[in-house]
Amino acid sequence: MKIFIDADGCPVVDITVKICKENGIECIIVTDTSHVFNKPNATTLTVSKGADSVDFALVNMLSKGDIAVTQDYGLAAMCLSKQAFPISQNGMIYNDFNIGSLLQARYTAKKLRQSGKHHLKGPGKRTPQQDKDYEKSLQALITQLNGNG
């Protein structure tokens, strides 16, 4: 098992690297050229800037049973198709039961934005509780995949 991080705009890179180190899991940070990461105990792969370049690079490296940290529903859907385990920065495990409704909500929000009649608020400021929830969820997923839960 490896853990891949869709690192562009990801607030849980340090938490993920720490958990990988504690569990002896290889950690790969995937980013584009607009971000710089140099984290001990992690490998950073920098790809060319471009629409979805990080997403495609990450999903092409995934193997069955790997974990991918992402807030991108489209990438999460691609990870599921490779039998990997995508998890959001807030600790939500994406699965075959929730991905369809998440993708539909994303599509609806995009249509509303494009109409120019609606302004949708983005997420609020990140809280320490969200970090704790993510850490707990990622550790539980690792435990489950290792057959200990």
The CA distance from 17 to 6, in Å, is 13
Residue of 64, 54, 51, 9 lying closest to 28 (CA atoms):
54
CATH number of 2-119+128-145: 3.40.50
The CA distance from 132 to 111, in Å, is 33
> How crowded is residue 52: how many other Cβ atoms within 10 Å of its Cβ?
13
Report the predicted TM-score, pTM, of the whole model to 2 decimal places.
0.85
Q: Which two tokens stand for residue 142?
A: 């690792």
The CA distance from 40 to 62, in Å, is 21
| Each residue's pLDDT tens digit, 36-68 | 888 999 999 999 887 789 999 999 999 999 999
User: Considering the chain, what is the average pLDDT of its residues?
Assistant: 88
Residues shown for the chain: 149
The CA distance from 49 to 40, in Å, is 24
Domain spans of the chain, in order of start: 2-119+128-145
| Each residue's pLDDT tens digit, 80-96 | 999 999 999 999 999 98
Residue of 69, 67, 64 lying closest to 31 (CA atoms):
69
Section 143-147 average pLDDT: 93
